Amino acid sequence: MSENKVLTGGGLLFEVLQEHGVQHVFGYPGGAIMPIYDALYDSDVQHFLCRHEQGAAFSAVGYARAAGKVGVCLATSGPGATNLITGLADALADSIPVVAITGQVPTAAMGSDAFQEIDIFGLSLACTKHSFQVTDINDLEKVLHQAFEIALEGRHGPVLVDIPKDVQLAEVTERLDKLSHLKNKVKLPLADISKALDLLTHAKQPILYVGGGVGMANAIEEVRNFAEQTGMPSVSTLKGLGAINPDNENYLGMLGMHGTKTANLAVQNSDLLVVVGARFDDRVTGKLDEFAPNARVIHFDIDTAEINKRRAADAAILGDLKGNLPLLSMELSISAWQEELQQMQKDFGWRYDHPGENIFAPAVLKTVSDLMPDNTCVTTDVGQHQMWAAQHMSFDDPSNFLTSGGMGTMGFGLPAAIGAQISRPHDTVIAVSGDGSIMMNVQELATIKRYQVPVKIVLIDNAKLGMVRQWQDLFFDGRLSETDLADNPDFVMLSQAFDIKSQTISKKSQVKAAVEEMLDHDGPYLLRVQIDAKENVWPLVPPNTANDKMMENV
C-alpha cells in the first residue's frame, strides 16, 4: 500500500487476514461490500470468484477441511449474505472453522428496511458458532482476531462478521499493539481417568468408536497408537473415516445406517465403547434405546455439551484428546473377541461380483480408490453415491474424505472440491457426485473453468434422486414421488461448455480405462458413470430401528 493512502476498514480486514495466514478467500461482490472489494484490489490475498455465495461458503469449508486451516468467504448484504447460510449451517454441523465476512448497509440505514438489508446477524444465531456485527471501526481489528480465535478454539465452527459499509470505508487511526486473547472459560474438571481405566481393564468386548473429532483434534497418531497397543477393534463414523488406518486388521469399517454388518453387530454386542470425538448421532445409533445395549461408555470429547447429551457416559474425559487418550493405553487380553470379529469380516466382506454388463457403482468407486494417487482428497455430494463412496473407497486421513455429514447438504461436493484443490494444488482432488446433487451448485463449473481447477468429477448418474427413490421403494410402497430425473441435461455437453473434458461410460468393461484416463488428464475432467436406477445402498438400518436389524441385499 502506498505511503499516503489511508488504511480503511476494508484494508484492515485484509491485513488481519494475512496476519492469520490467509492467502485465499472465496466470495462474490455487491453493493454493501464494495469498499472491501476495493481494498482487495490492493491486497496480496488471492480471491476466487465463485458463482453463487453458497459455492463460496462450501469452497471455504472444503479448503478448511482439506488443509486444516480456517476457510474464509465473503458476501454482500441481503441476498449475498443469506446465500451463505446453508454453507455456515453445514460448517456448524460438522464443526468446521470458517470465517464469513458479510457487507452490511451503512449503520445509519440499518433497521430501516434499506435496499439489500437483512438482519444477517440475527439470522446467524442458529447457524454459526458465534457472530459479530461491527458498528465502530475501532472494534474491527479486535473482532476479526476474535473471529479466528473462536473458529479454532475448542470445538471448531463457523464465525460470521457483519461489517456495515461505512465501517469498511472508515479510516483506521489506531492499531492494536497486542492481541487480547479470549478469556478461556474454566472447563469442568471432568476426567474420570481412574474410572475409565477400571472399565477398560474389565472389558471383554470393547470397541473403539471413532468420530470426526479425532482429525480435528490432530490426534490421528494417538488414536492409531491406542488402537494398536490395545488391539481394540474399531469402527468409524462417516466423518471419522481415515482416522484409523484402513489396513488395521481390527478395523471394522463404518457403523450406523449404512455401516458394515460387522461394525454394527460388533457395536451391538460390545460391553464397552471407547468413544473418541463422536457424538452418538442418530444416523450412527439407529434406535437410541437399543444402541449397544450392554455397553458401558467412556466418552472423550472437547465439548462438554456432548457428554451425556444422547447417551450417558460411565466415564467422561473432557479436553484435548491428544493428551488424554494415551493415558488409557494398555494391553488388553481380548483375542477371542478379535478373532470373532475378524471371522465376521471374512464372512461379511463386500462383494463386487455383480452380475451383468452394467456398471456396479460400488465397484467403480473401489476402482477409483485403488487407482487414485496417494493423498488424493475425495469430496462427495449427498445420496447413494455418498454412501457408496464411504463404504467402498479407502482413506488414510480424514482430511482426504470431505463429505457433508451432520447436515447432509446436496451441492457440497463440487465447491468443496474446488476449495480443497486450491488449498492442496499438488494433490489429486476427486468429487464424487450424483446427477441430482451436481445441479445444486452446477454454476461452480464456471469457477473451475475460470481458474482451471483440475478437479476430477465422478458423476454417478442413475437419473434419479436415488437415495430418496430407495426410501420410497422400501418405506413408501414404491410411490415414486418427484424423484425421477430422466430429463437430466446432457452432462458431457454441459461439461464441454465449461472447457471440462468429459465422457460417459455405461459398461463394466469401460471402467478401468476411463478412470485411468481421468486420473491421467492434467486439467478438470468429468466422468459420467451411467448406472442402473434400481440399485440400492446395502446394508440399511431402517429409521428408528436397532443397528442389528439391518436390511441386506440377499
**Stretch of 94-102, 164-172, 300-308, 408-416 lying at the interface with another protein (CB under 8 A):** 300-308
Of 58, 133, 146, 165, catalytic: 165
Strands 525-530 and 456-461: parallel
Q: Which residues have C-beta within 8 Å of that of residue 99, sequence separation ≥ 6?
A: 70, 71, 72, 73, 147, 148, 151, 158, 159, 160, 161
User: What single-letter DSSP state applies at residue 244?
Assistant: S
309 binds another protein (CB under 8 A): yes
Min separation Cβ 328 and another protein, Å: 23
* CB contact at 8 A, 296 and 271: yes
Residue reference for cell 466415564: 315
CA neighbor of 546 nearest in space, from 353, 273, 269, 350:
269
Selected from 232, 263, 274, 460, the binder of ligand TPP by CB under 6 A is: 460
Q: Does 303 bind another protein (CB under 8 A)?
A: yes
CB of 518 within 8 A of CB of 373? no
Site map (CB under 8 A) of another protein, residues 187-206, x = contact? -x------------------
Alpha carbon distance 457, 287 (integer Å): 35
- Footprint (CB under 6 A) of ligand TPP, residues 34-53: none
107 lines the binding site for another protein (CB under 8 A): no
Q: Which does 381 bind (CB under 5 to 8 A by kind): ligand TPP, Mg ion, another protein, none?
A: ligand TPP
Considering just the CA atoms, what is the radius of gyration of the chain in Å?
24
Span near another protein by CB under 8 A; candidates 57-65, 125-133, 191-199, 226-234: 125-133
User: 163 or 334, CB closer to another protein?
Assistant: 163
C-alpha cell at 134: 461491527
In 3-state terms, what secondary structure has residue 402? strand
Q: 305 contacts which partner out of another protein, ligand TPP, Mg ion, none, CB within 5 to 8 A by kind?
A: another protein
Q: Which does 182 bind (CB under 5 to 8 A by kind): another protein, Mg ion, ligand TPP, none?
A: another protein
Indicate whether 125 belongs to the interface with another protein (CB under 8 A): yes
Please name the residue that has the C-alpha cell 456396479.
Answer: 360
Cell reading at 194: 481412574
Residue 93 in contact with ligand TPP, rule: CB under 6 A: no
Q: Which of 294, 293, 297, 292 is nearest to 309 (CA)?
A: 297
Judged by beta carbon, residue 186 or residue 486, the one nearer Mg ion is 486
Q: Does 304 engage in binding with another protein (CB under 8 A)?
A: yes
> Least separation, in Å, of the C-beta of 434 and Mg ion?
4
Question: Which strands sit side by side in the sheet containing 251-254, from one edge to the other?
Answer: 251-254, 234-236, 206-210, 272-276, 296-301, 315-318
Shortest distance, position 468 Cβ to ligand TPP, whole Å: 5
For residue 446, give the nearest of 38, 82, 48, 45 by alpha carbon.
Answer: 48
Reply yes or no on whether 115 is catalytic: yes
* Chosen from ligand TPP, another protein, Mg ion, none, partner binding at 382 (C-beta under 5 to 8 Å by type): ligand TPP
Helical packing angle, 9-19 and 137-152, nearest 10°:
30
Smallest CA-to-CA distance from 511 within 362, 359, 402 is with 359
Residues 390-419 as x/- pattern, contact with ligand TPP by CB under 6 A: ------------------xxxx--------
Q: Which is nearer to ligand TPP, 391 or 437 (CB)?
A: 437
DSSP 160-203: EEEEEHHHHHSBP----SSPPPPPPPPPP--B-HHHHHHHHHH-
142 sits near another protein (criterion: CB under 8 A): no
Report the residue from 164, 212, 434, 539 that binds Mg ion according to the rule CB under 5 A. 434
- Nearest CB to Mg ion, comparing residues 17 and 438: 438
Q: Segment near another protein (CB under 8 A), from 64-72, 182-190, 399-407, 515-523? A: 182-190
Q: From its phi and psi, is residue 55 left (phi > 0), alpha (psi between -120 and 50) or beta?
A: alpha
67 forms part of the interface with ligand TPP (CB under 6 A): no
In degrees, rounded to 5, the angle at the alpha carbon of residue 182 between the alpha carbons of residues 181 and 186 is 130
Residue 179 interacting with another protein (CB under 8 A): no
The site for ligand TPP (CB under 6 A) is made up of 381-385, 408-411, 434-437, 460, 462, 464-468
The site for another protein (CB under 8 A) is made up of 121-122, 125-126, 129-131, 133, 150, 182, 185-186, 188, 303-305, 307-309
The site for Mg ion (CB under 5 A) is made up of 434-436, 462, 464, 466
User: Which residues are annotated as catalytic?
Assistant: 53, 115-116, 165, 467
